[in-house]
Amino acid sequence: MTTINVNGQAYEVAVEPETPLLWILRDTLGLTGTKYGCGIAQCGACTVLVDGQAIRSCQMPVDSVGSADIRTIEAIERDEIGRKVVEAWVQEQVPQCGYCQSGQVMAATALLKQNPHPTDSDIADAMTNLCRCGTYNRVASAIHQAAG
Amino acid sequence: MNALIKIDAAAAAPLLRQQGITNLSRRQLLGLGAGALLLGGLLSTGKASAQPTPVAVKPGTRVPAFLVIGPDNSFKLLSPFVEGGQGINTGTAQIVGEELDVNPARFEVECAPPGADYAVVGGMRMTGGSFSTRSSYELMRRLGATARDMLIRAAAARLNVPASTLTTDDGHVVDAGSLRIPYGALAAEALALTPADDVKLRDPATFRYIRKPVARLDVRAKSTGRAEYAIDQKVEGMLYAAVQHAPVLGTEPVRLINESVARGMPGVHDVHLLPGAVAVTADSWYRARQAVEALQVSWSAPPASGFDAVAADYSSSAILTALKSSSVAGERAEAVGDTKASFAGAAKIIEADYEAPYLVHGQLEPPSSIARFNADGALEMWTPNQMPELFQSIAAKLAGLTPEKVILHSPILGGFFGRHFAYGQSNPFQQAILLAKATGRPVKVLWSREEEFKMDAVRPLSFSRFRGAVGKDGMPVAIQVRTVGEGPLGRWFGAAASGGAVDSSAVEGIVEKPYDIPNRSMEYVKFVHPVTIAFWRSVGHSMNDFFYEAFFDEMADAGNKDPFELRRTLLANKPRHLKLLETVGTLSGGWKRGPFDVGGTKRARGVSMASPFGSETATIAEVSIERGEVRVHDLWIAFDPGSIVNPAIVKSQVESAAALGLSAALFEELAYEKGKRLSHNYDDYPILARDAMPRVHVEIVESGAPMGGVGEPGLPGIAPAVVNAVAALTGRHIRALPLAKAKFGA
């Protein structure tokens, strides 16, 4: 039995220790807002916050999570910066198919927590999540807007 | 072992033919106006059905099939189309809401179940071909207006006043005084009335929603993780299944070498042989995947060589060579003037071979599917798809049921770009049915990204040979093109639907170009690929406009003409195209080819035009070479779809199509060697990331021409504009994509 802390709540999960956090979130806890895209930490659809840092959960074994504070897209509007990011996403009408956007919103929230006023180059460095609909420019505009 | 249902032209075409749609090419589909939609449509009785033909339904007319008005005055719209990012749910809500007099923001929109009511695309139903809005616009307006009229009449009857004394205001029937009855309070009475067939539509000058940048209905859910895709569905008691497909398409599992190992792994329910694959069912997908990937499988041997099937020595370079060396006489795709004489008298003749690779769709959501046999014997499915009735009929056939006994849910798609048509073994839903049957439990099949890279149906590798004749004055006098290959329309819907001997989806973008080149001769040779080919955003245009427009610049260079000015000259009699060309010139700050200097770096620009899906585009790209690779700085796109519904969504779609077009132009190639695909995931199949995303400037021109498509047309102009800019910068005309294969001096 492993205990993890997700969105402020402790959960006990009975899984193999190497199970990626992604699959515990999705299939064990039913938190399906975090997406599976590639499974090899290339696309970023599975991005969550672990102690405030953007982490690709498909490559994070559950036994390495420990007592870290995990935040998923389901709790994004409970976070002050996350709420601003979501509002900016709506304002800029960022999503198209939307599948990558949970990860984009989480990555943007992590960026703004560390760097409240990122430059274009900061955004380029931090926001490496893939979007097949090509919403990259709107993602960048929305981050600037959320930064105020 | 159960065989999968082979979905080829033979399976799909009867669905079309049954309703009398024969010889229905894309062009004809496009040409069918709403008034022609008297056909019963792609009814839920497939060929296999023993049911009597249901009473013919006039698609798009029965209000209750589309609108559910709750007693709380909530509005649910059952859409003929599936939302996959293109914004169709919002657009349809705008169109219906405009005439119904309900703010589209109040609508909840979902993809309707299979049914004859929804066959609104030229008598059939699909989400594709950039057909949705243009095929249903009039119909959906009329539906909204018809419903509004019924609500007014219901209120008039209840109040015993003439209907002419009543009007509406955002979901309420109102009178000149203080009366205000919510639609929801009238819905039951209204829907019992006979719909009028001559309702008056709103004067477009008074539109409140159509042609306005109405916010998308789904952005908040998609920004907060609440949007539910097929992959997110869960049903009580379901098993998870993971699969391992044959390494070479067409081979079968013969023996499991270590079955007991997989069976002994945690959570495993069972191990299964499937057509062309092995599967493990387990209590979680991760456990199923671990077990199925631990399986060692002995596979049957593919044929040693040839192109009838994927052979042990099959490679993309071998099929390209075969396409190039074909000497089969072609079918005439276009013939104008006297090409032979023009070449004989030409001052200069140029020749060039153009090629484009296989491409995967690469939509971010991996395919999945749930199948459940209900207690009453019905099969219930949750599966991504672009043609509900076709999927329903295939599922029914496989399960041995009538189509009416298959309940199909069509969740929103995490990107599609053509991925979710029925492509034989390339969709997981048949596996889900077989596994649900085998286990007696609901089963959710999910393909790992690696399995998706193995199985995705691909944009066909393509080849065309060009010859151009230039006169003494430097003007092109003749163009000759030979295209050898295969289009997806012929593969999946048969010759009747694809335009006869010449598959329109293989030559679109090469034929019917607007330029006034007096002598033209285009031919097509069908060469069937052994791999599973697909519709891919903008289909034949995705490579053919690159071929043609890049060769156009070669002709311009051969005649010492500026490519923009030459286009202008050859479009002198095409006011719509000329205006678009001039619009993109102005949008980019005035045409300049370059090279020119920007901050110490040389840059240049290229231009292209395309006429995809009833719309027109003109594109300019600005590029430089950085560290030996092409960098695109700006794309300017003038886009004329005739008329529009939502300018904000149109703009987003053009931006998105441009990004995908650029991704293909710069990076993408799915290669085969020794019968196997060389790409397995995004690490060895790079797609456009933020670092290569240029600025995209879009100007919408509404020429008033018949409404064209929106989702795909932004794509085809990108590769040629970029390649033409590269030629202006470096003097090299690149004839094979992706550009990443060409190396440039710094």
Range of the domain at A110: 76-147
For residue range B26-76, list pLDDT tens digits in order. 444 433 322 222 222 333 333 333 444 456 789 999 999 999 999 999 999
What's the whole-number mean pLDDT along residues A61-70? 96
Q: Residue B21's pLDDT is what?
A: 30
Q: Residue B4's pLDDT is what?
A: 63
Tell me, what CATH number does A134's domain have? 1.10.150.120
With CA atoms as reference, report the closest residue to B614 among B650, B640, B578: B640
Q: Residue B54's pLDDT is what?
A: 52
For residue range B736-745, list pLDDT tens digits in order. 999 999 989 7
Identify all chain A residues contacting B446, using CB atoms and an 8 Å cutoff. 36
B164, B288: one domain: no
For residue range B624-637, list pLDDT tens digits in order. 999 999 999 999 99
A36, A81: one domain: no
Asked whether residue B8 is assigned to any structural domain, the reply reads: no
Share of chain B above pLDDT 70, in %: 92
Q: What is the DSSP string of B273-290?
A: EETTEEEEEESSHHHHHH
Number of domains in chain A: 2
Asked whether residue B710 is assigned to any structural domain, the reply reads: yes
For residue range B160-209, list pLDDT tens digits in order. 999 999 999 999 999 999 999 999 999 999 999 999 999 999 999 999 99
With CA atoms as reference, report the closest residue to B148 among B178, B118, B173: B173
Task: Find the closest chain A residue to B634 by CA distance.
Answer: A137
A133, A112: one domain: yes
A109, A50: one domain: no
Q: Residue B702's pLDDT is what?
A: 97
Identify all chain A residues contacting B285, using CB atoms and an 8 Å cutoff. 23, 27
Instruction: Among B399, B414, B446, give the residue marking a domain's end.
Output: B446
Instruction: Give chain A's length.
Output: 148
A21, A56: one domain: yes
Sheet arrangement for strand B67-69: B67-69, B75-79, B107-111
Q: B610 pairs with which residues across the strands?
A: B617
Closest CB from A20, A127, A132 relative to B362 = A132
Q: What is the DSSP string of B712-723?
A: STTSTTHHHHHH
Identify all chain A residues contacting B667, using CB atoms and an 8 Å cutoff. none
CB atoms A99 and B414 under 8 Å: yes
B559, B695: one domain: yes
B495, B577: one domain: yes
Tokens at residue B407, please?
Answer: 């309940």
Distance from CA of A131 to the nearest CA of B (A): 7
Task: Find the closest chain A residue to B684 by CA distance.
Answer: A42
Instruction: Among A33, A59, A74, give the residue marking a domain's end.
Output: A74
A47, A91: one domain: no
CB atoms B85 and A127 under 8 Å: no
What's the whole-number mean pLDDT along residues A47-57? 98
Q: B617 pairs with which residues across the strands?
A: B610, B639
CA pair distance B430, B134, nearest whole angstrom:
32
CB atoms B285 and A135 under 8 Å: no
Residue of A133, A138, A139, A141 to mutate for B, most B C-beta atoms under 10 A: A133
Q: Residue B31's pLDDT is what?
A: 34
B331, B420: one domain: no
Question: Cis link prior to B428 (omega < 30° from 0)?
Answer: no
3-class DSSP state of B500: coil
Identify all chain A residues contacting B688, using CB atoms and an 8 Å cutoff. 134
CB atoms A40 and B683 under 8 Å: yes
What's the whole-number mean pLDDT along residues B459-486? 98
Residue of A6, A36, A92 to mutate for B, most B C-beta atoms under 10 A: A36
A15, A47: one domain: yes
Give yes or no for residue B159 having a pLDDT over 70.
yes
Range of the domain at B248: 230-301+367-446
Instruction: Among A41, A74, A107, give the residue marking a domain's end.
Output: A74
What's the whole-number mean pLDDT along residues A84-105? 98
Band of the pLDDT at B24, cuts 50, 70, 90? very low
CB pairs under 8 A between A and B: 167
Share of chain B above pLDDT 90, in %: 91
B283, B332: one domain: no
Q: Tell me B636's DSSP state.
A: E
Task: Find the closest chain B residue to A34 by CA distance.
Answer: B225
Task: Find the closest chain A residue to B286 by CA distance.
Answer: A23
Number of domains in chain B: 3
B208, B243: one domain: no
What's the whole-number mean pLDDT along residues B99-122? 96
What's the whole-number mean pLDDT along residues B306-311? 96
CA pair distance B715, B549, nearest whole angstrom:
13
Asked whether residue B15 is assigned to any structural domain, the reply reads: no
What's the whole-number mean pLDDT along residues A17-38? 97
What's the whole-number mean pLDDT along residues A107-134? 97
CB atoms A133 and B659 under 8 Å: yes
Task: Find the closest chain B residue to A105 by CA distance.
Answer: B223
CB atoms B693 and A137 under 8 Å: yes
Distance from CA of B213 to the nearest CA of A (A): 11
Least confident of B18-32, B77-91, B346-360, B704-718: B18-32
Asked whether residue B112 is assigned to any structural domain, the reply reads: yes
Task: Find the closest chain B residue to A37 by CA distance.
Answer: B364
Task: Find the closest chain A residue to B453 by CA distance.
Answer: A38
The amino acid at A91: Q
Asked whether residue B586 is assigned to any structural domain, the reply reads: yes
B519, B609: one domain: yes
A95, A53: one domain: no
Distance from CA of B608 to the nearest CA of A (A): 21
For residue range B363-386, list pLDDT tens digits in order. 999 999 999 999 999 999 999 999
| A76 in contact with chain B, both atoms CB, cutoff 8 A | yes
Identify all chain B residues contacting A43, using CB atoms and an 8 Å cutoff. 364, 682
CA pair distance B394, B46, nearest whole angstrom:
8
Q: Which residue has the higher pLDDT, B560 or B746?
A: B560
Instruction: Among B198, B223, B248, give the residue marking a domain's end.
Output: B223
B107-111/B75-79 β-pairing: parallel
Asked whether residue B257 is assigned to any structural domain, the reply reads: yes
For residue range B217-254, list pLDDT tens digits in order. 999 999 999 999 999 999 999 999 999 999 999 999 99
Tokens at residue A13, please?
Answer: 């999960």
A67, A95: one domain: no
| A83 in contact with chain B, both atoms CB, cutoff 8 A | no
Q: Residue B495's pLDDT is what?
A: 84
Tell me, what CATH number does A34's domain have? 3.10.20.30
What's the whole-number mean pLDDT along residues B273-277? 97
With CA atoms as reference, report the closest residue to B230 among B120, B388, B91: B388
Give yes or no for residue A100 having a pLDDT over 70.
yes
Distance from CA of A90 to the nearest CA of B (A): 6
CA pair distance A140, B426, nearest whole angstrom:
35
Structural element, H or E, at residue B412: none
Instruction: Among B208, B223, B238, give the residue marking a domain's end.
Output: B223
| ipTM score of complex | 0.99
Closest CB from B226, B652, B682 relative to A93 = B652
| A110 in contact with chain B, both atoms CB, cutoff 8 A | no
What's the whole-number mean pLDDT along residues B553-579? 98
Asked whether residue B13 is assigned to any structural domain, the reply reads: no
Distance from CA of A27 to the nearest CA of B (A): 7
CB atoms B365 and A97 under 8 Å: yes
Distance from CA of B229 to the nearest CA of A (A): 8
Close Cβ partners of B516 (under 8 Å, ≥ 6 residues apart): B570, B571, B572, B573, B574
Q: Tell me B744's DSSP state.
A: -
Close Cβ partners of B72 (under 8 Å, ≥ 6 residues apart): B184
Q: Residue B743's pLDDT is what?
A: 87
